[in-house]
């Protein structure tokens, strides 16, 4: 089974809320909420993939020194296995703006369960709740 490496981030604002992005129509798992991020390309570290994806998807800039490893997800889907490191980030430049048709929402950790997420993301919720 193919292993897919995807990097994700819990962007945390000054009120302790986490940014979720809703997958747009036409993408797999459309309508589900997820942590921003994306595939790690060949030759990239998970941190550099996140920096690139945050710029492309949300128009914000951050730095490796601002990405703290928090946890990871390991989940088998039907045709691939997802390995997804989750970083926490409290410092970035710019205002997160949806650039790829996604919907954005700032959510308190205690309310994350109110948002339908892909199966791989669900085990990360209690970790974020306990950490925040």
> What pLDDT is recorded for position 79?
92
Q: Assign residue 60 the CATH number of its domain.
A: 3.90.79.10
What is the number of structural domains in the chain?
1
d(CA 17, CA 30): 23
**Residue numbers of the domain that contains 60:** 3-131
> What pLDDT is recorded for position 26?
87
pLDDT tens digit sequence for 17-66: 999 999 998 888 999 999 999 999 999 999 999 999 999 999 999 999 99
On the question of pLDDT at 132 being above 90, the answer is no
With a CB cutoff of 8 Å and minimum separation 6, the contacts of 90 are 11, 12, 66
Question: Which residue has 């993301």 as its token pair?
Answer: 121
> What pLDDT is recorded for position 19?
98
What does pLDDT average to over the chain?
Answer: 96
pLDDT tens digit sequence for 104-124: 999 999 999 999 999 999 999
d(CA 99, CA 120): 24
Average pLDDT in the 80-96 region?
Answer: 97
């Amino acid at each position: 089974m193919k292993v897919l490496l995807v990097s994700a981030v819990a962007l945390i604002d000054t009120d302790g809320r986490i940014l979720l992005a809703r997958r747009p129509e036409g993408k797999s798992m459309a309508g589900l909420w997820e942590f921003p991020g994306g595939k790690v390309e060949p030759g990239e570290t998970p941190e550099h993939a996140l920096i690139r994806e945050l710029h492309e998807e949300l128009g914000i800039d951050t730095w490796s020194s601002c990405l703290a490893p928090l946890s990871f997800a390991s989940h088998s889907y039907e045709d691939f296995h997802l390995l997804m490191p989750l970083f926490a980030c409290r410092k970035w430049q710019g205002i997160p703006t949806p650039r790829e048709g996604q919907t954005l929402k700032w959510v308190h950790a205690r309310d994350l369960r109110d948002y339908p997420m892909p199966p791989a993301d669900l085990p990360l919720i209690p970790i974020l709740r306990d950490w925040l």
